[in-house]
Amino acid sequence: MASEVSPAAPSRPFSDRVWANLMMLAEYAEPDQPGWTRRVFSPAYLESRQVVADLMEATGLEVTRDAAGNLLGQLAGAEPDLPALVIGSHTDTVAGGGRFDGMVGVVAAIEVARRLRAEGTRLRHPLRVVDFLGEEPNRFGLSCLGSRAVTGHLDPAHLQLRDASGLTLGEALVGVGGQPEAIQSARWKANSIHGYIELHVEQGARLEETGRRLGVVSGIVGIHRVRVELVGRPDHAGTTPMGSRLDAMQAAAQVILGIDRIGRRQEGAEGVATVGQIAVEPNSPNVVASRATLVAELRSLDAEWLAQGDQQVAAQVAQVASETGLVGELSWLSQEAPVACHPTLRRLLAQAVRELGVDPVELASGASHDAAHLAGLGPMGMLFIPSRGGRSHCPEEWTDPEQVALGTAALLRAVQVVDRAQL
Ligand code: GLV
Ligand code: MN
Ligand code: MN
């Protein structure tokens, strides 16, 4: 874990500084994890967020932390009664993640604020830069913690979710400076934002494939996440005949293949289905597995596809349970609907990109974002920069320095254009 790095000097040129800050942030990684892991609530995350707060402060932003552990930096506008224009993203990563997913949006947003101040440009609206708490899935089974909280969707029941050690989400929140008992105070009023713009790496290969440098997002997929529990019986792996077993591992394999088939069935609308997590007990080579717990997710831009997928997952588990004699139980962890980006904001973002002399492409996001939640509060739009080879959620995640610089320039231009617009 790095402790001797310091924020890039403020005199550095625009593009260098954003890149230097990104690389500096990446050094705050969990030492025992692969890649650039910085999961929410980890010591590395705590340390890195202090660095982000310091960067915000050095930029002249008024820094606060809310009851949900979000980190906010505000720049006053010329018309203080106007609602804030919000920009930002997240700085936590998945296990074995990269250096760009989320971080680009936060570091670029801070740079935008710095540039505005340096150039003496006063926006009409207050500018709010946000590092949302814990966007990625975590050990409590709930992602987008901070953006849920500002929209009023992190409720007391969520705060009672427990990790494997029995710690509650509320208790973990205290560790990042949150106040679970005051969680509702983190909520922003309806229509209290002028708009929300998030710059993010694409995490797919559309931009690369189409040879474009910047994308304007049309919409964000909905995600339905479900926990499947298969309960059988532990038995000796050498002495129990194949026909007498209640094997949770074998049943899990059938469920996993069934869910994969749901993702491959593309009738009209498109979607994807993934089982990315599994735990088995007792997890021993010479014991028939007694319990398998897996987490599956379905993603689509089509709400109907997701609803049908839910039914197909339930039917799949019921069928495997009845054929194997195991108990199969499902609990839905989240069912987030697909979200369309605001049409006027889409147009303005495309305009801002063109003003930089770049032709943008419109594309949908197969990844989810804090932006999907912010759409509940006001106009939401997103800008994408390329991800090399479409790779993301892995250590190889990469975006060239010039692409990061161009994305930052597009975000700055977008902020200036949207500030003057009626949405
Ligand atoms: C967010 O990173 C997601 O899972 O799409
Ligand atoms: Mn991610
Ligand atoms: Mn992200």
Query: Does the beta carbon of 136 lie inside 6 Å of ligand 1?
Result: yes
29: which 2 tokens? 């990684």
Tokens 């996440």 identify what position?
Answer: 225
Contact 372, 220 (CB under 8 A): yes
Work out which ligand 1 atom sits closest to the CA atom of 392: 2
Extended beta strands in 54-100, E state: 62-65, 71-75, 84-90
pLDDT average, residue stretch 153-170: 96
CATH code where residue 316 lies:
3.30.70.360
The domain tally of the chain equals 2
Q: How confident is the model at residue 4 (pLDDT cuts 50, 70, 90)?
A: very low
- At residue 331, the pLDDT reads 95
Backbone φ and ψ for 330, nearest 5 degrees, come out as -120, 140
DSSP conformation class of 282: S
Query: Does the beta carbon of 397 lie inside 6 Å of ligand 1?
Result: no
**Which tens digits make up the pLDDT trace of 168-199?**
999 999 999 999 999 999 999 987 899 999 99
361 in the same domain as 311: no
- At residue 13, the pLDDT reads 59
106 in the same domain as 207: yes
Q: How confident is the model at residue 268 (pLDDT cuts 50, 70, 90)?
A: confident
102 in the same domain as 195: yes
153 in the same domain as 69: yes
Within a domain: residue 29? yes
Q: How confident is the model at residue 85 (pLDDT cuts 50, 70, 90)?
A: very high
The type of residue at 38 is R
In the predicted structure, residue 162 carries a pLDDT above the cut 90: yes
Within a domain: residue 6? no
Least trusted range by pLDDT, from 15-24, 68-77, 392-401: 15-24
pLDDT average, residue stretch 225-253: 98
Closest by CA to 36, choosing from 21, 50, 25, is: 25
Q: How much of the chain exceeds pLDDT 70, in percent?
A: 96
236 in the same domain as 159: no
234 in the same domain as 209: no
398 in the same domain as 369: yes
Query: Does the beta carbon of 198 lie inside 6 Å of ligand 1?
Result: no
Ligand 3: distance of its center to the CA of 230 in Å?
31
Contact 220, 371 (CB under 8 A): yes
- At residue 11, the pLDDT reads 45
Ligand that lies nearest to the alpha carbon of residue 90, given by its number in the listed order = 3
Q: What Å distances lie between residue 239 and 244, 249, 265, 287, 324, CA to CA?
A: 10, 17, 40, 10, 19
Q: Higher confidence at residue 5 or residue 145? A: 145
Q: Which domain holds residue 373?
A: 12-221+338-420
Q: Higher confidence at residue 417 or residue 14? A: 417
Residues 6+ apart with CB under 8 A from 299: 221, 222, 223, 224, 271, 272, 273, 274, 306, 366, 368
Query: Does the beta carbon of 368 lie inside 6 Å of ligand 1?
Result: yes
- At residue 80, the pLDDT reads 87
Within a domain: residue 318? yes
Residues 6+ apart with CB under 8 A from 268: 305
Q: How much of the chain exceeds pLDDT 90, in percent?
A: 93
Within a domain: residue 4? no
Q: What angle do CA 49, 25, 405 make, to 5 degrees?
A: 120
Q: Which of 384, 393, 397 to mutate to test the pocket of ligand 1 (most atoms within 8 A of CB)?
A: 393
Within a domain: residue 7? no
pLDDT average, residue stretch 218-233: 97
368 in the same domain as 355: yes
pLDDT average, residue stretch 392-396: 97
Q: Which of 369, 394, 397 to mutate to test the pocket of ligand 1 (most atoms within 8 A of CB)?
A: 369
Q: How far apart are the C-alpha atoms of 365 and 12, rounded to whole Å?
A: 33
CATH code where residue 159 lies:
3.40.630.10
351 in the same domain as 203: yes
User: Which among 311, 336, 361 is the end of a domain?
Assistant: 336
Q: Which of 100, 143, 145 to mutate to test the pocket of ligand 1 (most atoms within 8 A of CB)?
A: 143
**Average of per-residue pLDDT values in the chain:** 95
In the predicted structure, residue 9 carries a pLDDT above the cut 80: no
Q: How confident is the model at residue 269 (pLDDT cuts 50, 70, 90)?
A: confident
Q: How far apart are the C-alpha atoms of 136 and 264, rounded to whole Å?
A: 25
Q: How far apart are the C-alpha atoms of 162 and 357, rounded to whole Å?
A: 50
183 in the same domain as 141: yes
**Which tens digits make up the pLDDT trace of 98-111?**
999 999 999 999 99
332 in the same domain as 297: yes
- At residue 191, the pLDDT reads 79
Ligand that lies nearest to the alpha carbon of residue 200, given by its number in the listed order = 3
User: Which among 289, 308, 336 is the end of a domain?
Assistant: 336
Q: How confident is the model at residue 1 (pLDDT cuts 50, 70, 90)?
A: very low
**Which tens digits make up the pLDDT trace of 351-361?**
999 999 999 99
User: Which among 336, 355, 380 is the end of a domain?
Assistant: 336
**Which tens digits make up the pLDDT trace of 120-147?**
999 999 999 999 999 999 999 899 999 9
Burial of 399 from C-beta contacts in 10 A (0-12 / 13-18 / 19+):
buried
Within a domain: residue 398? yes
Q: How far apart are the C-alpha atoms of 216 and 363, rounded to whole Å?
A: 6
Within a domain: residue 209? yes
Within a domain: residue 245? yes
Neighbours of 304 (CB within 10 A): 11
201 in the same domain as 60: yes
Q: What counts of helices (H) and strands (E) characterise the chain?
A: 12, 15
